[in-house]
Amino acid sequence: MKIFVIAGEASGDKLGAAVMEGLSTLAPGISFDGVGGPLMEAQGLHSRFPMEELSVMGLLEVLPKYRHLKRRIRETADAVLASGAAALLTIDSPDFCLRVARLVRAARPDFKTVHYVAPSVWAWRPGRGQKMAEVVDHVLAILPFEPPLMQAAGMSCDFVGHPVVAEARGTPEAAAAFRETHMIEENQPVVLCLPGSRAGEVRRLGPRFDEALMRLRDREPGLRVVVPTVRGVAPMVRDMSARWPVAPIVLEDAVDKAAAFAAADLALAASGTVSLELAAYRVPMVIGYDMAPLTRAIIGRLLKIDTVTLVNLVSETRAIPEFLGKRCKPGLMAQALLDLLEHPDAVEKQQEAMEATMQRLGEGGDPPGLRAARSVLNFLDKT
């Protein structure tokens, strides 16, 4: 049996490699065709073209490459149809993947299609589910409340666990070594500052986050700030923090970041998956986020939920304080961080919510890649 797999960015490459490993374990002799990155290639995929061609975000970035991307969509759909594959498995990147699926479905209405990572119809634009159902048969969901929504839209769907539960974590020994390396005393609080991984997020949130943390340091002079970041925005982060009275520890290395998460007492973070990464370490957190005024106004009208923090949503609590839009102010965030340092009951509520979140995401069970592979094979067996 052959599966045609498509991923368009680094996170999809990681998901794709895990499900391919699971499929190879459960169905020895299975083969793969498609598009992916180095992790998927390590699992036996010969990518038809570099996955990085698809890692384009934003209108200004897409427009110059529009004709090339449109050609790649057509080429990939033709390759799916000619591959002899039993099914098409698309992973996230809906702008590319679902366009390929639509062309495949138009040529072969009976061709089996599976999509990994459900669209966030629970947050905004619920019509995306029905539109996706026109070209997708089965969905692999990473949040436990998504299957009923996908089923209501007309697709079968299994919750397969969130990838955060399978990620390697820093150990207590690594945390102790991190503190020793950076000469952080046992009684000095370590606070993670996580203003996002994109330049626009760092520009918008960075100054507010550092102001909040400087205010917190006025109350906690021994505070040490650690800024885990990525290569693309590391110079911007360093420039941003150059004016701080006590320079933060800026980290790019993944192993160092894991050790810092294990050593952390507290975090101020942008909204997003990072809240689940912090929950995996049971790090108490405050969430802040803002967008450009026009985007904020549009999204604000479309949102269907009263919290955007995934820990709050999955745990069905509102334990994690969040400061969004006009409320994303240094003073408010600094006070919320101070409350966590001074009130153990607030920390306890957060940790209960984080414990529930990680259990509901699949912590302690089979790896998500294996669960996803089992779901794909069960779907194919039934159809």
CA–CA separation, 319 and 268 (whole Å):
15
- Are 206 and 142 members of one domain? no
- Are 353 and 371 members of one domain? no
* Residue 272 Cα distances to 26, 111, 130, 201, 309, angstroms: 32, 34, 25, 12, 7
Has residue 297 been placed in a domain? yes
**What's residue 334's pLDDT?**
97
pLDDT band at 55 (very low <50, low <70, confident <90, very high): low
- Are 377 and 355 members of one domain? no
CATH number for 20 = 3.40.50.2000
- Are 137 and 241 members of one domain? no
**What's residue 95's pLDDT?**
87
- Taking residues 213-237, what's their average pLDDT? 89
pLDDT band at 57 (very low <50, low <70, confident <90, very high): very low
Has residue 141 been placed in a domain? yes
Examine the pLDDT at 92 and tell me if it is beyond 80.
yes
Examine the pLDDT at 59 and tell me if it is beyond 60.
no
User: In the beta sheet, which residues pair with residue 114?
Assistant: 89, 138
Has residue 166 been placed in a domain? no
* Residue 301 Cα distances to 30, 78, 91, 293, angstroms: 46, 39, 28, 13
**What's residue 363's pLDDT?**
96
* Residue 33 Cα distances to 44, 80, 85, 87, 301, angstroms: 9, 8, 8, 11, 41
For residues 123 and 376, the model is more confident at: 376
pLDDT band at 299 (very low <50, low <70, confident <90, very high): low
Count how many domains the chain has: 2
- Are 273 and 339 members of one domain? yes
What share of the chain in percent tops pLDDT 70? Answer: 94
Q: In which region does residue 122 sit, left (phi positive, over 0), alpha (psi from -120 to 50) or beta (all else)? A: alpha
- Are 307 and 195 members of one domain? yes
Has residue 167 been placed in a domain? no
- Are 209 and 230 members of one domain? yes
Has residue 302 been placed in a domain? yes
H/E stretch holding 322: strand 322-324
Per the CB < 8 A criterion, the answer to whether 280 and 169 are in contact is yes
The 10s digit of each residue's pLDDT in 200-211 is: 889 899 999 999
Has residue 51 been placed in a domain? yes
Nearest to 44 by CA among 78, 5, 83, 82: 5
- Taking residues 35-63, what's their average pLDDT? 79
Has residue 136 been placed in a domain? yes
Has residue 74 been placed in a domain? yes
pLDDT band at 298 (very low <50, low <70, confident <90, very high): low
Range of the domain at 226: 172-360
| Structure tokens given for 310 | 């995934």
pLDDT band at 1 (very low <50, low <70, confident <90, very high): very high
The 10s digit of each residue's pLDDT in 109-136 is: 999 999 999 988 776 677 888 999 999 9
pLDDT band at 56 (very low <50, low <70, confident <90, very high): low
Least confident residue range of 65-74, 258-267, 332-341: 65-74
Examine the pLDDT at 342 and tell me if it is beyond 90.
yes
Per the CB < 8 A criterion, the answer to whether 191 and 265 are in contact is yes
- Are 57 and 83 members of one domain? yes
- Are 112 and 137 members of one domain? yes
User: In the beta sheet, which residues pair with residue 190?
Assistant: 224
For residues 54 and 179, the model is more confident at: 179
CA–CA separation, 272 and 120 (whole Å):
12
CA–CA separation, 242 and 305 (whole Å):
38
- Are 131 and 273 members of one domain? no
- Are 277 and 196 members of one domain? yes
Examine the pLDDT at 354 and tell me if it is beyond 50.
yes
pLDDT band at 58 (very low <50, low <70, confident <90, very high): very low
- Are 146 and 194 members of one domain? no
- What is the overall mean pLDDT for the chain? 91
